[in-house]
Amino acid sequence: MKLRRVVMWLGMGMLLAVLVPACGTKKNDLILDPDADLSLTNRAGVAAVGSDDELLRHEYTAIFNTIRTGDAALDAKDYTSAGNQYVQAFQRLSLLRKMHPQWNQDVVEFRLDYCRDRLNAIAARGTPR
């Protein structure tokens, strides 16, 4: 029986990876075919990935999207929301760096610095009135 790794987003930067049989029988099942696009996601937020590197890229993409959301909030002068997004991204990047210190070090450090700079800029503005 073929097995595939399935990853479920648990929130707060946590992913759960499990092995499941490589087939689905119900309409909403995630069908894990060896030739399938391994970036498929079903309605429950479950994604199939083939390697740890793919899992890390998936997590980094989610973090990057959080940063982009923070950038959009900052552009809209919603400093509270922007700060929350940058803090969340910073925490997730810090965890990524701690758990996988050799993975794309320069990129992770760049994004950590980016979040840090944005948070410092928001803090320097003080509390908006």
Q: What is the pLDDT of residues 45-95, one digit of tens each?
A: 445 445 688 889 999 999 999 999 999 999 999 999 999 999 999 999 999
Q: What is the mean pLDDT of residues 95-121?
A: 95
CATH class of 53-125: mainly alpha
pLDDT score recorded for residue 54: 86
Could you tell me which of 72, 54, 56, 74 has the C-alpha nearest to residue 117? 74
| Residue 40 pLDDT level (bands cut at 50, 70, 90) | very low
Q: In a 10 Å sphere around its CB, with 0-12 CB exposed, 13-18 middle and 19+ buried, how is residue 61 labelled?
A: exposed
Domain locations in the chain?
A: 3-50, 53-125
80-106 core/surface letters (b: 16 or more CB in 10 A; e: else)? eebbebbbbbbebbeebbeebeebbee
pTM: 0.61
d(CA 56, CA 67): 16
Secondary structure string (H, E, C) spanning 45-100: CEEECCCHHHHHHHHHHHHHHHHHHHHHHHHCCCHHHHHHHHHHHHHHHHHHHHHC
Q: What percent of the chain has pLDDT over 70?
A: 57
Q: Answer yes or no: is pLDDT of 29 > 50.
A: no
| Residue 39 pLDDT level (bands cut at 50, 70, 90) | very low
